[in-house]
Chain A
Amino acid sequence: MRIELRDVRHVYSPGTPFAVEALKGVSLTVEPGEVLGVIGGTGSGKSTLVQHLNLLLLPTGGEVLVDGADAVSMDRTALRRRVGLVFQAPEQGLFAPTVEEDVAFAPQRLGLNEEEVRGRVREALGLLGAGHLAGRSPFALSGGERRRVAIAGVLAMGPEVLVLDEPTAGLDPTARGDLMGLVGRLKASGVTVVFVSHDLDEVAEAADRVCALEGGTVRSVGAPDEVFYDDLSLAPATVRVAAAVGERRPGFGRPVRYGETLAALRSLMGGAA
């Protein structure tokens, strides 16, 4: 599915002295099957933006289109089943006595039979490498494990688009790497992924396209190299290294991912020999 935001505005507490305009006319398309990384400072509107993708927040101006049709008039429950949203620190929402029951909560409410529910749970936990945790209490797990279980709970609904708001914040580096591996597996299975992150290195690694927000507007959007090389203050470490090399070696190229950057540096060092 394609989700299109057209000039979306969002004002919190409109008409009161506390009114804050969090989105000031954002236009952005989430293409089917892509991995879109959303970056920007605190207060730039990232969380507000992603909550419009399944209409958890309604725009106070502009339009949200799903496959070209106005999303506001669609069945909200059906939309939220197709667009799964994982909040920041989703492990705070875990509640059931076992991991399995927690992950089964949403598919059970989709009216699936017991067998289908079990299948969904197995599949979702499997994708997150958390199958072995099924019988455990969610409260006896590590931070990274709990995060994965909470994400499995949303995946078990079988969404076409998965929206992750800072999925790796507060996790140790290996757990962060594991989660970003999930993003790759989801993409391979045809799920569209939108993820918000402060970690530019992981955005560089995983995203097909990057959207940079600033003060409630889109500062830039496009392929990672376009966004990152255009403004090095937004760039991950790989790009800052490559840009510093490129200053002395015009034509060095514009690598973004770690592997590309390493290969380009290697060939520069080795190629000169």
Chain B
Amino acid sequence: MADTASISCKDLTYSYTGGFGPALSGVSFEAGQGEYLGVVGPNGGGKSTLVRLLNGLLAADSGRVRVAGFDPATEPFEVRRRAGVLFQNPDNGLVAPFVEDDVAFGLENLGVERAEMRGRVGEAIRAVGLSGYERREPHTLSGGEKQRVALAGLLAVGPEVLLLDEPTAMLDPPGRREVLERVRGLRRSRTVLHVTHHLEELFDADRVLVLNGGRLVADAPPEELFSDADLLRENRLVLPTVPRLAVDLGLPFCRTPEELADAVEKRSRDNSGVEAR
């Protein structure tokens, strides 16, 4: 049977040598083409292990993995040209003296013709909003800019799937916003699996997976997950400030300060209206 899903995992189990127990155990889920999936959970929950299994850095002990139709354990190169990974630390991934060389690095390894490479590199650099940065040296860039260079390097290869492993963890708030904005711009055109500790980055995700102790304990749309106080607590997840205020005030789910201020205003007017009658 052909896999139509971009990512599909069935009963995935993996233990590190010398680990206390399985890092992942019986994990099953699918991501359809163009879906945006968040992955959250406590440190040690299995999030990074999942990413490594998906791009073939690790091979599962048992279970079945397919990424863009290929098994990452047996055909890692087929998977890696179709699924790019953006890691936490931008300094670890940038290798070339200039931005454009860095973005071209993946294409060089694939043996892409020079003329085509030029076009794809330029396009990828535009897609992350760094036109004009082609001849800048990566070490002179801010953290957010470096992560966007790394993202451009992935986009140039044209992957079907993007695996984002806490790509904003080491960035300041403006850097985070820059990277997230570019990632959001890719919605629907790629399948995205986004690992993060920041739930507010997943407000617009199609679904959010919760991994805890190596098990998939929830697979739900963000609104559903964020309104389940028990589930959040059990998985050491803390609701971001704005929706948390909304919950504590008995108001519906709110994403932004403005939405919450509107809801507060409306509720207090309703309340005073009740009294006037």
User: Which residues of chain A have a CB within 8 Å of any CB of chain B?
Assistant: 40-43, 140, 142-144, 169-177, 198, 200-201, 236-238, 240-241, 243-245, 247-249, 258, 261-262, 265-266, 268-273
**Residue of A43, A175, A269 with most chain B CB atoms under a 10 A cut-off:** A269
Query: Knowing A237-B241, A269-B267 touch, does A42 contact B171 (C-beta < 8 A)?
Result: yes
Does B17 interact with chain A (Cβ within 8 Å)? no
**Separation of A241 and B257 alpha carbons in the complex (Å):** 4
Per-position contact with A for B140-171: 1 when CB-CB < 8 Å, else 0? 00111000000000000000000000100111
Task: Check A175 against B249 for contact (C-beta < 8 Å).
Answer: no
Q: How far is the CB of A2 from chain B (nearest CB, A)?
A: 29
| Cβ 8 A contact of A142, one of B44, B88, B197 | B44
Which of under 10, 10 to 19, 20 to 34, or 35 or more describes the interface residues of B? 35 or more
Find the B residue at minimum CB distance from A258: B241
B245 and A42 contacting across the interface, CB-CB below 8 Å: no
Which residues does chain A contribute within 8 Å of B174, judged by CB atoms?
Answer: 41
Across-interface contacts of A140 in B (CB, < 8 A): 20
**Measured between alpha carbons, how far is A42 from B169 in the docked complex, in Å?**
13
Q: Nearest-CB distance from B254 to chain A (Å)?
A: 9
Contacts of A174 in B (CB 8 A): 42, 236-238
- Say which one of B2-10, B30-38, B121-129, B258-266 lies at the interface with A: B258-266
Stretch at the interface among B70-78, B98-106, B130-138, B268-276: B268-276
- Please give the distance in Å from A91's CB to the nearest CB on chain B: 11
B63 CB-CB contact with A under 8 Å: no
Q: Do B238 and A171 have beta carbons less than 8 Å apart?
A: no
- For residue B27, CB closer than 8 A to chain A, the reply is no
**Please, how many angstroms separate the alpha-carbon atoms of A261 and B169 in the complex?**
27
Contact B248 A272 (CB under 8 A): no
Given A41-B174, A262-B248, A273:B241 Cβ within 8 A: no
- In the complex, whether B173 has a CB less than 8 A from a CB of chain A is yes
Q: Which residues of B contact A143 (CB under 8 A)?
A: 43-44
> When chains A and B are docked, how far (Å) is the Cα of A236 from the Cα of B269?
26
> Which listed residue, A169, A176, A244, A273, touches B257 by the CB 8 Å rule?
A244
Least CB distance from B214 to A in Å reads 13
Contact of B245 among A176, A177, A262 (CB under 8 A): A262
Question: Complex formed: what's the CA distance from A273 to B274 in Å?
Answer: 7
Asked if B93 CB lies within 8 Å of chain A CBs, one says: no
Among residues of A, the one whose C-beta sits closest to the C-beta of B239 is: A173
Shortest CB distance A165–B (Å): 13
Q: Give the residues in chain B near A265, CB-CB below 8 Å.
A: 245, 249, 264
B22 within 8 Å of A by Cβ?
no
The answer to whether A237 touches B242, judged by C-beta atoms less than 8 angstroms apart, is yes
Smallest CB gap from B199: residue in A? A173
State A177–B272 Cα separation when bound (angstroms): 37
| B11 close to chain A: CB less than 8 A | no
B10 → A minimal CB distance (Å):
27
**B172 partner, pick from A198, A236, A240, A241, beta carbons under 8 A:** A198
Closest residue of chain A to B250 (Cβ to Cβ) is A269
Q: Which of A43, A171, A237 has the largest number of chain B CB atoms within 10 A?
A: A237
Kindly state the separation between the CA atoms of A177 and B233 in the bound complex, as whole angstroms.
13
B97 at the interface (CB under 8 A from A): no
Question: Roughly how many angstroms separate A142 CA and B142 CA in the complex, as a whole number?
Answer: 29
> CA–CA, A200 to B169, complex, Å?
14
Q: Quick one: closest B residue to A241, CB to CB?
A: B257
Closest Cβ of chain B: how far from A93's Cβ, in Å?
17
Residue of A nearest to B88 (CB): A170
Question: Do A170 and B272 touch (CB < 8 A)?
Answer: no
- Please state if B265 and A248 are interface contacts (CB–CB under 8 Å): yes
Q: Which residues of A contact B242 (CB under 8 A)?
A: 237, 241
Min Cβ gap B35→A in Å is: 24
Report how far A169 CA is from B170 CA in the complex, Å.
7
Contact A144 B249, CB 8 Å, known A237-B257, A240-B257, A241-B261: no
- Asked if A170 contacts B166 (CB within 8 A), the reply is yes
A140–B236 alpha-carbon span in the complex (Å): 20
Q: Does B221 contact A (CB under 8 A)?
A: no
CB distance from B167 to the nearest CB of A (A): 12
Is B264 in contact with A245, judged by CB distance below 8 angstroms? Answer: yes
Q: Which of B44, B236, B257 interacts with A173 by CB under 8 Å?
A: B236
Pick the contact of B269: A237, A247, A272 (CB < 8 A).
A272
CA distance A237 to B43 in the complex (A): 24
Tell whether, in the assembled complex, residue A173 and residue B237 are in contact, meaning their CB atoms are under 8 Å apart: yes
User: Are A269 and B257 CB-contacts (below 8 A) given A169-B169, A170-B170, A245-B265?
Assistant: no
